[in-house]
Structure 1
Amino acid sequence: MRRVVCTEFGGPERLTTQEGPDPDPGPGEVLVAVEAAGVSFVDGLIVAGRYQIRPPLPFVPGSAVAGRVAALGPGVEGPAVGTPVAAAVMGFGGFASHVLVPAAEVVAVPDGVEAAVAASTMESYCTMVYAVTHRVAIAAGERVVVLGAGGGIGLAAVDVAHSLGARVVGVASSQEKRAAATAAGAEAVIGYDDLKDGIRTATEGGADVVIDPVGGAAAESALRALRAGGRFCVVGFASGEIPRLPANVVLLRNRTVIGVDWGDWSRETAGPAANAALLGDVLGRVGRGELHPPAPATAPLDEAGAVLTAYAERRVTGKYVLVP
């Protein structure tokens, strides 16, 4: 097998690619031959040691894989060898040609869904489907504003909100990213200049819901652009700056701030079985054409560091997968 290894926390340029024997699945495990490993902005934070989870060194980054069943461990009856599957790898290890996964956490990939799409949708779409099924209700016709609308989470938010009948406004930093948000279902797109007034104009008075995976200075402007009873969803801080939201602005007009942490829910609150069910729901919606994730860009394992650098520098539109 080939795998990307982090031996010390720091810049992604320190990652190395190593080779070794394929692992054998133990009792209750499935060996997945990885065809695509999803890459996210968070992977770069983990490699840098700047995330709330710090794996013991050395470790293999990556938490989302899709491929085919290569072998079954003792006591495992299925899925059969050769079955297309996807899995959230809770203990990391996804940036590799092969990965061991508990059988209960493996989800069959529906016909017509390519491995690259399955792997790239896992973190972003699971986050957003979790958000709208567990954290915030979005009704048809509501005005939903998505910050960072050209990134992986942002495009998923646009797609999911659009699928619910919302009127979506995408906020993105470049014409390329705004075009991607439009393709995903945004009926209007704007930049970050004069953001509060821009949102109020685009939403005809104010947003019902803001989805914010960016943080930074844009967060307060978007919060102030909520209409009465509006909901502000904190998803992440891709800008690198955690905002300090003014409580008086939350109080005024009965606004609500909602945390959306799919990762904690999947690891701690609900557990792997519930997360596998959520992933199955997401892939089912993709397979039925209810959600429309764009095909990701691809790169070989050896370029994992370069891809993580591109994420950190906010040069990525959409998503990347590593192809072993």
Structure 2
Amino acid sequence: MRAFHLLTGAEAPALLDLPVPAPAEHQILLHIAACGLNFADLLMIEGRYQDTPDRPFTLGMEVAGTVAALGAGVTHLAVGDRVAVFGGSGGLAEWGTFDAARAVPLPDSMTEETAAGFQIAYGTSHLALDHRARLCPGETLLVLGAAGGVGLTAVEIGKLMGARVVACARGADRLEAARAAGADHLIDAATQDIRTEMKALGGADVVYDPVGGDQFEAAFRACRPEARILTIGFASGSVPQIKANHLLVKNMTVMGLYWGGYLGFRPEVLTRSLATLFDWHAAGRLRPHVSHVLPLERAAEGLDLLRRRAATGKVVIRI
């Protein structure tokens, strides 16, 4: 089978021919139809992600496809079932083995290409806004990086939850994607001052930040008393330092959200969240945005789109 693989040295990932794996106990063999790309894939290549596997390994965190074989002990799935899986790695290949407990059956309304980019982006935003920040109707939500893979879902989910959504992104095209996802107000990070614009809107109750760096600092200074700031990631490459005395004065809270971490300590929270999201999709309340669908031989090009922040929504590799 073909697989986009990282070898043991410092080489860039390459498309290699590898043996098709066999499922171990409690695993499934998946005939992979599509794999969603994530910023974390770039961090894995650099060895900077918190859950980077030991080399060699195949990239690709989230996939969708058809169950081709069952390992011993798997009784809740059948050969031929369409499922999505958050595997953490192994998705950029024609076949893969994954923990059966992580496989989520797909509704008839969802294509594999949509499903491959659905779990992490929508799951992160829903868990962050609902479970962590407890976003309430009528509150003002500021979404940084609002045209990216997770940012765009935060705009959409925040609007569904009844918030006034302010989307911050760079450039008219990216802001238009955020507006189409439901944003009430737009801030161009390339030409406008985030703090000034947010102050004019009365400040933020919740900040959703996958960017970090200077944008975090500006958003922090534009928060209302009792605001909650969600740190989702650091796409800017800069991890901000938080002044605890400012948290004290404004009674603010800064909280982290690592979606995959819930699999290890409270998987039921993640499972409930995904069930809600799949129900919303089946009811037509979510409109996933996939900006690029590329074949496996162009996986490196897809990752470069993320690196350059040239995509809106998700980049998906069709296997």
TM-score for the superposition, normalised by structure 1: 0.92
CA contact (8 A) 2:87 2:99 kept: no
Please give the residue correspondences for 1:138-217 in structure 2 after superposition, counting only pairs within 5 Å.
138-192=135-189, 193-201=192-200, 203=201, 205-217=202-214
1:270 alignment partner AA = R
Report the equivalent of 1:265: 262
Q: Does 2:248 match 1:220?
A: no
Cα distance in 2, alignment partners of residues 318 and 89 from structure 1: 21
The answer to which of 227-236 and 146-155 deviates more is 227-236
- Measured in 1, the distance between the counterparts of 2:260 and 2:9 equals 21
Distance 1:9 1:195, change over 3 A: farther
In structure 1, the partner of 2:105 is 108
CA distance in 2, matches of 1:2, 1:169: 42
Give, as a single letter, the amino acid of the residue that structure 2 aligns with 1:64: E
1-side partners of 2:139 and 2:105: how far apart? Answer: 34
Q: Is the 8 A contact 1:9 1:49 kept in 2?
A: no
Distance 2:260 2:127 in 1: 10
Give 1:276 deviation, angstroms.
4.5
Identity of aligned residues (%): 38
- Which residue of 58, 61, 65 corresponds with 2:59? 61
SS in 2 for 1:49: coil
Structure 1 residue 73: deviation in Å? 2.2
SS at the partner of 1:18? strand
Distance in 2 between the 1:30 and 1:270 partners? 23
- Counterpart selection for 2:75 from 74, 77, 95: 77
What is the DSSP-based 3-state SS (H/G/I as helix, E as strand, rest coil) of the residue aligned with 1:79?
A: coil
1:323 aligns with 2:318: yes
Provide the C-alpha distance between the structure 1 equivalents of 2:271 and 2:85, rounded to a whole number of angstroms.
Answer: 7
Structure 2: 5+ residue stretches without partners = none
Paired residue for 2:297? 302
The higher relative CO (CA closer than 8 Å, separation ≥ 6) is in: 1
TM-fit CA distance, 1:309: 1.8
SS in 1 for 2:300: helix
Q: 1:47 aligns with which of 14, 22, 45?
A: 45
TM norm structure 2: 0.94
> Which secondary structure does the structure 1 equivalent of 2:58 belong to?
coil
Equivalent position to 1:291, from 281, 286, 293 = 286
The aligned length equals 317
Equivalent residue runs for 1:247-258 within 5 Å? 247-258=244-255
**Aligned partners of 1:277 and 1:21: how far apart in 2?**
36
1:88 is matched with 86
In structure 1, which of residues 228, 233, 237 is the aligned counterpart of residue 234 of structure 2? 237
Q: Larger deviation: 156-165 or 95-104?
A: 95-104
- By how many angstroms is 1:275 displaced? 3.9
- Give distance in 2, aligned partners of 1:70 and 1:256: 46
Please, what is the CA RMSD of the aligned residues?
1.8
Look up the SS of the partner of 2:50 in the other structure: coil
Match of 2:29 in 1: 31
Counterparts of 2:283 and 2:99 in 1: how far apart (Å)?
27
Structure 1 residue 8 displacement after superposition: 4.5
Deviation at 1:285, TM superposition (A): 2.2
Determine if contact 2:138/2:163 at 8 Å carries over to the other structure. Answer: yes
Question: 1:269 corresponds to which letter in structure 2?
Answer: F
SS, match of residue 240 in structure 1: coil
